[in-house]
Amino acid sequence: MQAANPSDPYLDELEKKSISVLREAKAQFRNPAVLWSTGKDSTSTLWLCRKAFFGEIPFPVIHIDTGCKFPEIYKFRDELAKKWNLNLIVARNEEALKKGVSPEKDRFECCTLLKTQALKSLLEKEGFDALVLAIRRDEHGIRAKERYYSPRDADFKWDYQDQPAEVWDLYVKPSEDFSHMRVHPILHWTELNVWQYVKQEKLPINPLYFAKNGKRYRSLGCQPCTVPVPSKARTVNEIIEELETSRIPERAGRAQDKEKAYMMQKLRSLGYM
Amino acid sequence: MRTSKVNLVIIGHKDHGKSTLIGRLLYDSNAIPKQKLQEVEAELKKAGDEGFRFAFLLDTFEEERRGGLTIDIMQTPFKTEKHLYTIIDCPGHREFIKKMFTGASQADAAVLVVSAREGIQDQTKQHAFLTQILGIHQLIVALNKMDQINYEEAKFKKIRDKLANILDSLDYKKIPVVPVSALNGENVFKKSQKMPWYKGSSLIDTLDKTVRPSTPPTRKPLRGCVQDVYAIEGRKIVVSKILTGVLQEGKIVYFDPIGEQGRIKKIGMFGKEVEKAGPGDSVGLIVNDLKKVKRGEVISYPRNRPKIVRSFVAEIILFSGVEIESNDLLTVRCGTAEKRCKVERILERIDPINVTVDAKFPETLKNGEVGKIVLSPTEPMCIEKFSELAELGRFVVEGKKGTAAAGIVLEANVAKED
């Protein structure tokens, strides 16, 4: 695990905080797990775990499979899981998939059943008491209100109106009133920071992020609900350049963010990412 | 890449215009993506409301927008010539103190927003008091809504002078007070033409001139806290966070309160070995001859070890749903340590708005109150005076659903030497 070239001191600061958050999670929780979408944020988070825990990821890695992810995602997932020796668990809501739940009928229901419910069922089965997620404040207004440690109650709900205080790096501890804790180690990173980190650490990246035919995916959701944005960036360097000058938000191509103004808020309060 | 970062918290009474001011700062500095602006404008049109557009950018919760009230904090960055500011917006309503505290606890500097029309109100004073408790020394006042008093100098001066008195009693000296209108963008970014009597700079320029990023406490005595101990390939790695001072390879350190000593053989940081580590660094230490060290221990050099305290006096603020009485046992968290402490006595209850002692030796302290109490650990504990070593001089108290209270140590009474 070598960081060959001198690293950017700004990214170092971001990294230190993230690693501290991860190490606290390991110390405080019995059975944490990490959510991985194979996207740049969660892949960076896995890398941060490897740094925090000296080369290994001592937690199971969960991929929520809605059955309609891009084929590139499945390929990337399986290859990296092997390379990094991940304890990979794939979560699927088989029942809902059989019933033919789809975004054409009702996007809110689709996200809730195929993602949130799949996650919920897995948590109940495996008894994870903490979930590490790669969300960032700058992704969405609602996520900006998050804390580093954010509890979910027995119904999986996020009580966003009454979040516990988070003061001086003293994060919320587990409690029997919480079903699990959401841990957000890269909350303070921006989209640009993540790409700079990817470049610095030479992290493997899903080819969907790179431009083809004048478009690329800035954010990787499920295939039916993710729309590429206009771009010419075909490498990490070009993406960084583009971001430094662009003003189109990252999640511009994500349908559930737009649909009803507060859909994201509702989704999240019910346990979504 | 800009490395000069400042965490700026915006505080003040409800409806004095904090969120509007931030929205204005972001809007004028081009920090907001076009799509977001369009989104917000569409929302506003639907609600039939033209006036509050800037606040809407930050009040992203549905309940916040409908009620025109910020419920939780939000962190947003924007750049100036000098710094990368991360603005933390806080709710001003008195019921949201714990959220204000959460936001302010991360700040290097604070902007206190006061409405020129309403003048100084309860949360104006309370927030100033709380930021002082938090040890935030850099403060600037934005006297907002100048448009509503016709940009008049007389009224501005009156409020400014009154504020100076209050802030002075809180030990905030010579605080710049900048007249602005966040809604109309007057004197926020550029000096306003409407206030020729005002000889100072715009808000942004005042910020850039007065505020400094926090400097890491490398000159203080070494203090680190053990987060965990991992067994990797047959070796014990003591995973720790350095809080103050500089840890050097090869030196002898102590772990307290357990009192164990060892030599630092290797300092590992994320895959590489380093010779030294400073404040904020998370390190993996290989220390020879360790048997008892575990999470919670404090690392230091032999010449300046933390003391094991017999009791300490703390200024404490209670968040929701908590009550404290003498003889209560509290779970106190400081650094990575967690110790049960007994409430020996409640010395004072302090009115956080007028900052006066409103009761001596009260029986209880309740939800939302601030007080001075004496705590005595029921097991060996190291804690420092906040004014000397803030990083280990502040703590939280655990409640049923998260942090119930936060406090700072005013005095520490040391146990007898063994």
Q: Can you give the CATH number for the domain in which A73 is found?
A: 3.40.50.620
CB contact (8 A) between residue A170 and residue B396:
yes
Looking at B268, B285, B304, the residue that finishes a domain is: B304
DSSP state of B292: S
Min Cα distance A77 → chain B (Å) is 24
Do A127 and A237 sit in the same domain of this protein?
A: no
Q: Which residues from B are below 8 Å from A252, CB to CB?
A: 35
Mark B47-57 as b/e (b = at least 16 C-beta within 10 Å): eeeeebbbbbb
Q: Which helix (H) or strand (E) holds B44?
A: helix B34-47
Look at residue B93 in the predicted model and tell me its pLDDT.
61
Q: Which residues from A are below 8 Å from B34, CB to CB?
A: 247-248
A204-209 contacts at long range (C-beta below 8 A, 24 or more positions apart): A204/A43, A204/A76, A204/A80, A204/A83, A205/A40, A205/A43, A205/A236, A206/A38, A206/A39, A206/A40, A206/A72, A206/A73, A206/A76, A207/A72, A207/A76, A208/A70, A208/A72, A208/A73, A209/A40, A209/A239
CATH code of the domain containing B69: 3.40.50.300
CB contact (8 A) between residue B282 and residue A160:
no
CB contact (8 A) between residue B61 and residue A160:
yes
Q: Is the pLDDT of residue A8 over 90?
A: no
Task: Tell me if B235 is assigned to some domain.
Answer: yes
Task: Tell me if B52 is assigned to some domain.
Answer: yes
Do A73 and A159 sit in the same domain of this protein?
A: yes
Do B100 and B20 sit in the same domain of this protein?
A: yes
CB contact (8 A) between residue B102 and residue A26:
no
Look at residue B68 in the predicted model and tell me its pLDDT.
47
Pick from A138, A175, A247: CB nearest B401 = A175
Residues recorded for chain B: 418
Task: Tell me if A1 is assigned to some domain.
Answer: no
Q: Which residues from B are below 8 Å from A141, CB to CB?
A: 58, 60, 74
User: What is the token pair recorded at A226?
Assistant: 């993710």
pLDDT in tens, B16-48: 888 788 878 877 776 666 666 666 666 656 655
Do A48 and A183 sit in the same domain of this protein?
A: yes
Q: Which residues from B are below 8 Å from A248, CB to CB?
A: 33-35
User: What is the token pair recorded at A31?
Assistant: 């059975």
| Distance (Å, whole) CA A36 – CA A58 | 14
Contact B70, B19 (CB under 8 A): yes
Of A61 and B317, more confident: A61
How far the first Cα of chain A sits from its last, in Å, is 30
| Distance (Å, whole) CA B262 – CA B283 | 16
pLDDT band for position A2 (cuts 50, 70, 90): very low
Do A225 and A158 sit in the same domain of this protein?
A: no
Do A180 and A196 sit in the same domain of this protein?
A: no
Looking at B286, B304, B322, the residue that finishes a domain is: B304
Amino acid letter at B9?
Answer: V
3-class secondary-structure state, position B211: coil
B128 beta partners? none
Task: Tell me if A24 is assigned to some domain.
Answer: yes
DSSP state of A157: -
Q: A4 at the B interface (CB within 8 A)?
A: no
Residue of chain B whose alpha carbon sits nearest to that of A259: B39
Contact A123, A236 (CB under 8 A): no
Contact B147, B186 (CB under 8 A): yes
Pick from B43, B101, B282: CB nearest A23 = B282
Count of A–B CB contacts within 8 Å? 138
How many domains would you assign to chain A? 2
Q: Which residues from A are below 8 Å from B281, CB to CB?
A: 16
Do A127 and A240 sit in the same domain of this protein?
A: no
Do A117 and A200 sit in the same domain of this protein?
A: no
pLDDT band for position A166 (cuts 50, 70, 90): confident
Do B67 and B107 sit in the same domain of this protein?
A: yes
Q: Find residues 179-238 of chain A whose CB sits inside 8 Å of chain B.
A: 188, 190, 196
Query: If we measure between CA atoms, which residue out of B345, B289, B287 comes closest to residue B314?
Result: B345
Best to test chain B binding among A167, A259, A262, A263 (most B CBs inside 10 Å)? A167
Do A61 and A166 sit in the same domain of this protein?
A: yes
User: What is the token pair recorded at B19?
Assistant: 């969120």
Residue of chain B whose alpha carbon sits nearest to that of A172: B402
Beta-carbon contacts of A269 under 8 Å, excluding residues fewer than 6 positions away, are A157, A158, A159, A160
Contact B131, B110 (CB under 8 A): yes
- In chain A, % of residues over pLDDT 70: 84
CB contact (8 A) between residue B33 and residue A247:
yes
| Distance (Å, whole) CA B393 – CA B370 | 17
Looking at B189, B210, B231, the residue that finishes a domain is: B210
| Distance (Å, whole) CA B363 – CA A236 | 63
Min Cα distance B416 → chain A (Å) is 29
Q: Which residues from B are below 8 Å from A261, CB to CB?
A: 39, 43, 62
Do B318 and B299 sit in the same domain of this protein?
A: no
| Distance (Å, whole) CA B314 – CA B381 | 15
Q: What ranges in A32-92 are assigned the alpha helix state H?
A: 40-52, 71-83
Do A93 and A145 sit in the same domain of this protein?
A: yes
Look at residue A46 in the predicted model and tell me its pLDDT.
96
Task: Tell me if A14 is assigned to some domain.
Answer: yes
CATH code of the domain containing B253: 2.40.30.10
Residue of chain B whose alpha carbon sits nearest to that of A150: B402
Look at residue A257 in the predicted model and tell me its pLDDT.
57
Q: Which residues from B are below 8 Å from A145, CB to CB?
A: 60-61, 72-74
Beta-carbon contacts of B418 under 8 Å, excluding residues fewer than 6 positions away, are none
- Whether the pTM exceeds 0.90: the reply is no
| Distance (Å, whole) CA B324 – CA B302 | 37
Do A18 and A98 sit in the same domain of this protein?
A: yes
Residue B114: which domain range? 5-210
Look at residue A132 in the predicted model and tell me its pLDDT.
95
| Distance (Å, whole) CA A209 – CA A219 | 8
Task: Tell me if A135 is assigned to some domain.
Answer: yes
Query: If we measure between CA atoms, which residue out of A49, A70, A44 comes closest to residue A59?
Result: A49
Task: Tell me if B320 is assigned to some domain.
Answer: yes
Do A161 and A47 sit in the same domain of this protein?
A: yes
Query: If we measure between CA atoms, which residue out of B29, B89, B79 comes closest to residue B55?
Result: B89
Task: Tell me if A113 is assigned to some domain.
Answer: yes
Of A228 and A140, more confident: A228
Look at residue A217 in the predicted model and tell me its pLDDT.
87
Task: Tell me if A2 is assigned to some domain.
Answer: no
- Which residues in chain B land under pLDDT 70? 1-3, 30-76, 89-96, 320, 415-418
Task: Tell me if A107 is assigned to some domain.
Answer: yes
Do B23 and B155 sit in the same domain of this protein?
A: yes
Task: Tell me if B215 is assigned to some domain.
Answer: no
Q: Which residues from A are below 8 Å from B319, CB to CB?
A: 165
Query: Mean pLDDT across chain A, nearest whole number?
Result: 83
CB contact (8 A) between residue B3 and residue A10:
yes
Do A136 and A238 sit in the same domain of this protein?
A: no
Best to test chain B binding among A158, A161, A166, A169 (most B CBs inside 10 Å)? A166
Cα B327 to chain centroid, rounded: 29
Cα B246 to chain centroid, rounded: 24
Do B204 and B183 sit in the same domain of this protein?
A: yes
Look at residue B3 in the predicted model and tell me its pLDDT.
56
Task: Tell me if A4 is assigned to some domain.
Answer: no
Look at residue A268 in the predicted model and tell me its pLDDT.
60
Contact B403, B316 (CB under 8 A): no
3-class secondary-structure state, position A256: helix
How many domains would you assign to chain B? 3
pLDDT in tens, A234-259: 999 999 988 877 655 566 556 555 54
CB contact (8 A) between residue B75 and residue A137:
yes
Task: Tell me if B218 is assigned to some domain.
Answer: no
Angle between helices A40-52 and A9-28 (to 10 degrees): 70
Residue A247: which domain range? 192-257
Q: Which residues from A are below 8 Å from B232, CB to CB?
A: 54
Do B176 and B34 sit in the same domain of this protein?
A: yes
Cα distances (Å, whole numbers) of residue B44 to B17, B39, B69: 18, 9, 15
Look at residue A130 in the predicted model and tell me its pLDDT.
93
Best to test chain A binding among B22, B61, B88, B330 (most A CBs inside 10 Å)? B61
| Distance (Å, whole) CA B214 – CA A259 | 42
